[in-house]
Amino acid sequence: MDAFVTFCLRMGDNALILGQRTAEWCGHAPVLEEDIAFANMGLDLIGQTQLWYGLAAEAEGKGRTPDDLAFLRPERQFLNSLLVEQPNTDFGHALMRQYLFDAWHLPMQEELAKSSHEGVRGLAQKTVKEVRYHLDRSRDLIVRLGDGSEESHKRMQDALDWLWPFTADLLATDEVDAQMADEGIAPVPALIAKAFDAETQATLARATLTIPETRLRRTGGRDGIHTEHMGYILAEMQSLQRTYPGARW
């Protein structure tokens, strides 16, 4: 697959799957404010997905649409990181998953806003404000709950302990990333990793949370090798299209 198409699919798949997970809180969040906030973030992410899929489909040149890419690909063709497909174990896990993604997503979008590729640059300049809000919000909640009650601290530390190994998939690099950086389309991966480390170390310290000292690295999603949760997400997300192929509202 073309490196640029792969890059766009990775970005779009991350946004789509996290958007799907985030939307699952609609009607189920612990307070009304969070119910609305998570639904809005899900809409932001799915809107970003459509833009990334549009770039991928155009570069691919096979006549596929963003809908085709979302609803007609099997699991092994999705290239999202393992972090975003992790289930909503509880609200603490959902917040921590969102924060860790946002801590990577914002510096990535800020650098993509300088991209040599006009389409990527325009996309990032359009969406970076949304991503900045996402990080501001998730960071605030991580600090408030991590440094809150004994119960909230425990739940946030448990979530961090479980989810931290999956951040390795967000920060993983391969020849696609190297080519995108060489062409000035995407930033040098080490720059994003440095920004991610600075953000998480500062925020988690304020939240009185301890980054796990583990060598466990959960990777593979960017190459289409997913956890057991991914198939269930796609089964729900693609059910209408699979049952009624070509259906339109």
pLDDT digits (tens, 9 = 90+) for 58-94: 999 999 999 999 999 999 999 999 999 999 989 999 9
- How far apart are the C-alpha atoms of 222 and 51, rounded to whole Å? 19
Residue with tokens 């963003």: 66
- How far apart are the C-alpha atoms of 247 and 249, rounded to whole Å? 7
Better-scored residue on pLDDT, 124 or 247: 124
Q: Which whole number is the average pLDDT over 206-211?
A: 98
The pLDDT, as a whole number, for residue 47 is 96
Q: What are phi and psi of 241, to 5 degrees?
A: -65, -35
- Asked if residue 182 has pLDDT above 80, the reply is yes
- How far apart are the C-alpha atoms of 161 and 195, rounded to whole Å? 21
The pLDDT, as a whole number, for residue 177 is 97
The CA-atom distances, in angstroms, between 34 and each of 99, 112, 135, 166, 241 are 14, 29, 15, 24, 30
The pLDDT, as a whole number, for residue 36 is 83
Closest CA to 180 of 76, 35, 55, 31: 55
Q: Which range is least confidently modeled, 21-25, 95-99, 172-176? A: 21-25
The pLDDT, as a whole number, for residue 137 is 95
The pLDDT, as a whole number, for residue 187 is 97
Q: Over the chain, what is the mean pLDDT? A: 94
pLDDT digits (tens, 9 = 90+) for 188-205: 999 999 999 999 999 999
How would residue 107 be classed by pLDDT, with cut points 50, 70 and 90? very high
Distance of CA 76 to the CA centre of its chain: 17
Note whether 85 and 226 are within 8 A (CB). Answer: yes
Domain range summary for the chain, segments of one domain joined by +: 3-243
Question: Nearest 5°: CA angle at 231, between 229 and 235?
Answer: 120
Q: Which whole number is the average pLDDT over 158-163?
A: 97
Closest CA to 120 of 3, 8, 195, 2: 8
Q: Which whole number is the average pLDDT over 103-120?
A: 98
- Asked if residue 33 has pLDDT above 90, the reply is no
- How far apart are the C-alpha atoms of 231 and 245, rounded to whole Å? 19
| CATH number of this structure's domain 3-243, picked from the four choices 3.40.50.2300, 1.10.1750.10, 1.20.1260.10, 3.30.750.24 | 1.20.1260.10
Q: Which whole number is the average pLDDT over 36-55?
A: 93
Closest CA to 240 of 54, 80, 70: 70
Q: Which whole number is the average pLDDT over 155-163?
A: 97
